[in-house]
């Protein structure tokens, strides 16, 4: 069994690519793939997060001191440098359509709070620090997103957008799996009865990361195909973002003289966006905007997932 587990971990990139292709093929081949896959996305992410959290040694974390310079670099890169980059890219590519702008700003100005933890771990960053970062990123993006829209779009969209999905997602995808993982670790310390269950959880990350990739991509291919002319407008922006954003995280880390693992963590945080959370926000917009904004966000998800698979290989090699 250990040989199978080792094989999965060594070949995980190829497994993810295979399931990504499955998602694309299923999404394009079956008209109702969206309705088949979509209900499973949140379930798979919750199980994935639980599996990742069980690998974090929570009862030894209290002995570690938090690097405050990391927090300064995290906030500076995600909420100062990245917004400047996004505004610059939007201006350079001459995007003037309001729904396109809303979609771009919604997805690119909100740092990821869920599966970025998984990718950080796969890319040899510091998963514990990324975990600690999630409530800070969550609170700041909720507070700053309306301000960004006022600055960049000259519109107050707060009366259109329902922020409850932010809170619900944070509770369901972070807090509940986290509490479950901590409880399992605690029980395994108190009783050996729970140790096999804790060991079994080590099998979760690779297969469920593959399932998340397949369901996310498979559920959204129909949107991308139906609004392909909008997709073509935003893809160059997303590619530029995926190239530049990790460098911004790295530069912020270098500025504060952080160790290698935290520089990698910042690279992943700066480049990974909160698409799965902002998607419900897009659906709460007026009908004349909702469809286009959704397509813009979904396109970013697809580009990002492909980019993350490249990051996993490149970031540990480039940041060392």
Tens place of pLDDT per residue across the chain (320 aa) = 677 777 777 777 788 889 989 998 999 898 788 888 888 888 998 898 898 888 777 777 665 667 889 999 999 999 999 999 999 999 999 998 888 999 999 999 999 887 788 889 889 999 889 988 888 888 898 889 888 988 888 766 666 666 677 677 778 887 899 899 999 999 998 888 888 888 888 888 889 988 988 988 888 788 778 878 888 999 999 999 999 999 999 999 999 999 999 999 999 999 999 877 777 777 667 777 777 888 898 889 889 988 998 999 999 999 98
Question: Is 286 exposed, middle or buried (CB count within 10 Å of its CB: 0-12, 13-18, 19+)?
Answer: exposed
pLDDT of residue 85: 97
- Has residue 12 been placed in a domain? no
pLDDT of residue 290: 78
- Has residue 24 been placed in a domain? no
pLDDT of residue 57: 75
Residue matched to tokens 């490249």: 310
Report d(CA 140, CA 24) in Å as an integer: 34
Please spell the DSSP secondary structure of 201-269, one letter per residue: GGGSHHHHHHHHHHHHHHHHHHHHHHTHHHHHHHHHHHHHHHHHHHHHHHHHHHHTT--HHHHHHHHHH
Domain that holds residue 306: 42-318
pLDDT of residue 260: 96
- Has residue 84 been placed in a domain? yes
- Has residue 140 been placed in a domain? yes
- Has residue 32 been placed in a domain? no
pLDDT of residue 310: 92
Q: Are 100 and 230 in contact (CB under 8 A)?
A: yes
Comparing C-alpha atoms, which of 273, 319, 266 is closest to residue 70? Answer: 266
- Has residue 34 been placed in a domain? no
Domain of 60: which CATH number?
A: 1.20.1530.20
pLDDT of residue 225: 82
Per the structure block, which two tokens stand in for 157? 């969209």
Q: Are 126 and 262 in contact (CB under 8 A)?
A: yes
Comparing C-alpha atoms, which of 125, 76, 128, 86 is closest to residue 109? Answer: 86
Residue matched to tokens 């190829």: 14
Please spell the DSSP secondary structure of 123-175, one letter per residue: TTS-HHHHHHHHHHHHHHHHHHHHHHHHHHHS---TTT---HHHHHHHIIIII
pTM equals 0.82
pLDDT of residue 107: 93
Residues 6 or more apart from 240 whose CB is under 8 A from it?
89
Per the structure block, which two tokens stand in for 257? 């003289």
pLDDT of residue 238: 97
- Has residue 205 been placed in a domain? yes
Report d(CA 176, CA 308) in Å as an integer: 25
Q: Are 5 and 203 in contact (CB under 8 A)?
A: yes
pLDDT of residue 34: 83
Number of domains in the chain: 1
- Has residue 78 been placed in a domain? yes
């Amino acid at each position: 069994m250990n040989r199978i587990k080792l094989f999965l971990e060594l070949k995980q990139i190829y497994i993810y690519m295979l399931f990504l292709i499955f998602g694309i093929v299923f999404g394009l081949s079956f008209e109702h793939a969206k309705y088949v896959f979509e209900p499973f996305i949140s379930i798979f992410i919750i199980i994935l997060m639980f599996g990742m959290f069980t690998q974090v040694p929570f009862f030894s974390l209290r002995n570690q001191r938090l690097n405050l310079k990391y927090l300064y670099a995290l906030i500076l890169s995600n909420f100062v440098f990245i917004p400047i980059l996004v505004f610059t890219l939007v201006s350079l590519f001459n995007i003037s359509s309001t729904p396109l702008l809303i979609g771009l700003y919604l997805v690119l100005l909100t740092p990821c709070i869920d599966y970025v933890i998984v990718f950080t771990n796969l890319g040899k960053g510091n998963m514990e620090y990324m975990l600690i970062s999630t409530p800070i990123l969550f609170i700041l993006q909720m507070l700053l997103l309306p301000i960004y829209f006022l600055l960049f779009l000259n519109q107050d969209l707060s009366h259109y957008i329902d922020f409850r999905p932010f809170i619900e997602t944070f509770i369901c995808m972070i807090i509940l799996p986290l509490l479950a993982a901590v409880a399992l670790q605690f029980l395994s310390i108190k009783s050996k009865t729970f140790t096999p269950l804790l060991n079994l959880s080590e099998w979760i990350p690779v297969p469920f990361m593959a399932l998340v990739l397949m369901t996310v991509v498979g559920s959204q291919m129909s949107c991308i195909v139906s609004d392909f002319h909008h997709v073509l407008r935003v893809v160059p922006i997303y590619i530029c973002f995926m190239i530049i954003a990790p460098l911004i995280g790295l530069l912020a880390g270098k500025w504060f003289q952080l160790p290698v693992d935290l520089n990698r963590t910042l690279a992943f945080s700066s480049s990974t966006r909160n698409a799965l959370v902002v998607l419900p926000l897009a659906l709460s917009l007026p009908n004349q905007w909702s469809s286009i904004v959704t397509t813009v966000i979904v396109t970013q998800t697809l580009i990002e997932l492909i980019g993350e698979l490249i990051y996993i290989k490149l970031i540990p090699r480039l940041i060392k």
